[in-house]
Structure 1
């Protein structure tokens, strides 16, 4: 039964995990091992106050594990449990034998066993409650106190998982109650769990892993499921104030506003609006303007959604007109008007919003073109060319997005002004990068190239896009010029397009042009560009690669230095060997950790000298070097071992 070996365990875990688990087993950290069918269970002492609970599932020699430690599975605690089974199977209590033994026990003995099990895990009662109509009263105060105790600890990154695990044990109680259709009791526990998570966040819990946030959001969802099943308006009204306080004060992204949708109705929504607007008015007196606007947007949108949820759209429109002060306020109202197909009114609101300075900018312009694209089919005269040009330039003032651009073109085409728009964009639009991207998108490649060649501030990434399109169109000369410009302006991305572009460029441009580019790289100190370019210069112009290596000699990977030295040596062995020696002198002055690089470069020098029949020169060089650096005994020993010679 479950015939596994130590080698099988070793193969199932990383080497480090296996040997750490072996230490745990040898130190006797495995407590109370149990076997049930194909499952092993034990508690294993770890770094926390209480031992971790570990399970191992074995099926056809396949091993799967689960643990309450932060790792969760395939951990050292699981290794310790499995090793305990391999070496001490007799130490495991066989659960099947225990179950069989119950037949010979008295009722009193069995009840005592069950009591002990319940004392250890009270939640188990929910799973085995006998009466379907039973309505157990939960001690919500006791549960709340336990939650407070769990979250009051210092919940840093390494301990928050344990708090979530303990909260999940309480969640199990609520889940059991919900399965029994005891929705009110379950909802109260979920509510306390949500409040507990908020308290933890308020006290600075480090949830960078997201486990507590995900737990809280799940509790919100479970709470809402309970509310859907409860048809008791009075009970929901009783919870209303608590949920309003939670949702209004929580700002951790836990979806607590959603809890209102399960309890809202036409009778209590006026109270909800009054409460939230009162809180908002208090914010206006004491909070900063930006914080007030943030809270206002949240609260008004929630109220609008709540009114829509209960079928009161007229109230949604009323709230959408609340304090039309910022662009965001106008966007809110315009969206509601669009929903009612009042496009002209929405268009006017958008244009009024553009005159304001506060709030989202791009969202307003996008909405302008969305509405305009509808109006051009109905009342094109309402769409003014000059106003639309301003909106278009503003929308494209930072980035070029093809979807936005296509919508802009659709509007100008609809009013018969597309070519006039393109001409105005080419000459007048401030964002020249967007102009080039638009030309490229429209397939006007030559115009895009002309703008790049005449304007010095086009970004390198835009130039590379145009260069790639040019080479795809067979315009290799133009592509080579563009790639050179991009590199000279500081391009440092060696992504997939660059391989093709650099091969084309180094094959098309003459040495003088490439030399000027290399000098520009050296002048700007662009090590990344130098490293990217060197392999493409090696075959045709190795001397240019050597110049780049020389100017960044300390930072260059030693393999690149060796590669360039070999390439240069084909024309000038002396220059190739000299390049190696310069880097060697740098490395021996830095640290002993660079000695392997010194040995590597001497091997390169040996190959260079041997290729021209002058290995004796290399022998003299290496012996001279050894004499000059005889104090560096580790290096000399490494060289003796590598070259198998007396130096």
Structure 2
């Protein structure tokens, strides 16, 4: 996708575009890097925000860890894209490829293994990418998601800003691409449980958390329906959804009830095939 002022305007409101222009003029972009079509940057606002865009994707697939939760992209994303219009960063893709090509296989393997040994999230993504099932339980995954809620506002119980759940959704998608639907369902269930149990802490960015919850719940139902032919596993999944109708927080209760009905219907369709 061509990066022009017009294409940037297409993904944000007029007010946000003007703020993005101002942020760029004020020199708020402190780091910016590019590998192939992916641009990452650090933009200062009330704090430092991480930004990622894909110059080749339709709409640039913008991502930012700021609390903006309104239509279109945020001002930090707009500032980065406008920087790419006027002064695009050098592409480090060739340099990275050359370094990989020249690296000793044993040294590269040792480096990767050391990184995987100390980075649980990266290790799970790697194992998912090579077709291995998840080694983490729902409880273990939940603990890491719950920790993100605690870290967001450690001094208070209330959560005011959006939380980035991308790493777990990407992990679930990786399992789905590998047709490891049971593993994907495990990740989705951890997200569903954590979001449901922490929803009463949320005081702001409601649309963000609602979308994340709906995406996780839909993914869970789809993956359970695809993966589980075992009657006990299916019964457990339906029981989990029904239990959440009364045991979870009040707002998502209707969603759980509809999900249980949808899962039964999908399994009924499979039984007739």
TM-score exceeds 0.5: yes
| Structure 1 residues 218 and 76: alpha-carbon distance in aligned structure 2, compared to 1, 3 A threshold | closer
Structure 1 match to 2:63 = 67
Shift of 1:116: 6.8
CA distance in 2, matches of 1:113, 1:93: 24
Contact kept? 1:44, 1:52, Cα under 8 Å: yes
CA distance in 1, matches of 2:18, 2:172: 41
Shift of 1:86: 5.0
Contact kept? 1:187, 1:226, Cα under 8 Å: yes
5 Å-filtered alignment, 1:22-41, equals: 22-25=25-28, 29-31=29-31, 33-41=32-40
| Structure 1 residues 11 and 117: alpha-carbon distance in aligned structure 2, compared to 1, 3 A threshold | same
| Structure 1 residues 63 and 82: alpha-carbon distance in aligned structure 2, compared to 1, 3 A threshold | farther
Contact kept? 2:30, 2:42, Cα under 8 Å: yes
Residue 197 (structure 2) pairs with residue 199 (structure 1): yes
Contact kept? 2:52, 2:77, Cα under 8 Å: yes
**Higher helix fraction: Structure 1 or Structure 2?**
1
Structure 1 match to 2:241 = 243
Structure 2 match to 1:168 = 166
| Structure 1 residues 252 and 193: alpha-carbon distance in aligned structure 2, compared to 1, 3 A threshold | same
Shift of 1:232: 0.9
Shift of 1:223: 1.4
Give the SS at the match of 1:52.
Answer: strand
CA distance in 1, matches of 2:115, 2:73: 26
Which structure 2 residue ranges, 5 or more long, are not aligned?
A: 10-16
CA distance in 2, matches of 1:42, 1:117: 23
| Structure 1 residues 12 and 245: alpha-carbon distance in aligned structure 2, compared to 1, 3 A threshold | closer
| Structure 1 residues 206 and 79: alpha-carbon distance in aligned structure 2, compared to 1, 3 A threshold | closer
Shift of 1:256: 0.7
Contact kept? 1:67, 1:77, Cα under 8 Å: yes
Give the SS at the match of 1:41.
Answer: strand
Structure 1 match to 2:217 = 220
Contact kept? 2:43, 2:49, Cα under 8 Å: yes
Give the SS at the match of 1:206.
Answer: coil
- The TM-score with structure 2 as length reference comes to 0.70
5 Å-filtered alignment, 1:486-501, equals: none
| Structure 1 residues 23 and 168: alpha-carbon distance in aligned structure 2, compared to 1, 3 A threshold | same
Structure 1 match to 2:14 = none
Measured on the aligned residues, the alpha-carbon RMSD in Å equals 4.0
Structure 2 match to 1:500 = none
Residue 260 (structure 2) pairs with residue 260 (structure 1): yes
Deviations 1:205-257 (A, max 9, x none): 4354x222222222222111122221111223344543322023443245211
Shift of 1:114: 3.4
Report how many aligned residue pairs link the two structures. Answer: 245
Shift of 1:99: 0.6
CA distance in 2, matches of 1:135, 1:44: 37
Shift of 1:146: 1.4
5 Å-filtered alignment, 1:112-151, equals: 112-115=110-113, 118=116, 119=119, 121-126=122-127, 128-129=129-130, 132=131, 134-151=132-149
Structure 2 match to 1:44 = 43
CA distance in 2, matches of 1:259, 1:184: 17
5 Å-filtered alignment, 1:104-115, equals: 104-115=102-113
Which structure 1 residue ranges, 5 or more long, are not aligned?
A: 265-304, 312-647
Structure 2 match to 1:97 = 95
Residue 79 (structure 2) pairs with residue 79 (structure 1): yes
Give the SS at the match of 2:108.
Answer: helix
| Structure 1 residues 23 and 11: alpha-carbon distance in aligned structure 2, compared to 1, 3 A threshold | farther
Shift of 1:106: 0.0
| Structure 1 residues 257 and 73: alpha-carbon distance in aligned structure 2, compared to 1, 3 A threshold | same
Whichever of the two has the greater Rg, that structure is 1
Give the SS at the match of 1:187.
Answer: helix
| Structure 1 residues 76 and 222: alpha-carbon distance in aligned structure 2, compared to 1, 3 A threshold | closer
Deviations 1:494-528 (A, max 9, x none): xxxxxxxxxxxxxxxxxxxxxxxxxxxxxxxxxxx
